[in-house]
Amino acid sequence: MEILISATIGILVAAGIYRLLGGTKVDIIVGLVLISQGANLIILASGGLKHNAPAILTDGTKNTDAMADPLPQALVLTAIVIGFGILAFMLTLLTRSSAK
């Protein structure tokens, strides 16, 4: 699974870089979207990947070690919203620079 997720992120970043080097404004926006998706996955992966163990506490929760790490998730959640904000801002710049 580690190899698979690493390769997936690698492909996302590679595609992002390829797009970024395309030279047009749209290329740069698409490239950044792809790279930021990859970056979000990197942060999530850095906390260790766990299946079916969300960090939601129930009354009977004893073993919190088995739970997914909530900190990277909080970071990624912020990153998604900020990434959305940056993208929106870049889109305005794009509109602005092409409006004559």
Minimum CB separation of residue 51 from another protein in Å reads: 5
Among residue numbers 30 through 89, which ones bind another protein (CB under 8 A)? 30, 33-34, 37-38, 40-42, 44-58, 64-65, 67-71, 73-74, 76-78, 80-89
Out of 7, 60, 62, 100, name the contact with another protein by CB under 8 A. 7
Nearest 5°: CA angle at 94, between 91 and 98? Answer: 145
The pairs formed by 55-59 with CB atoms below 8 angstroms and a separation of 24 or more are none
Helix (H, G, I), strand (E, B) or coil at 97: helix
**Does 100 participate in binding another protein (rule CB under 8 A)?**
no
The answer to whether the beta carbons of residues 72 and 55 sit under 8 Å apart is no
Minimum CB separation of residue 72 from another protein in Å reads: 8
**Does 15 participate in binding another protein (rule CB under 8 A)?**
yes
**Does 9 participate in binding another protein (rule CB under 8 A)?**
yes
Burial label for 75, CB within 10 Å (0-12, 13-18, 19+), is middle
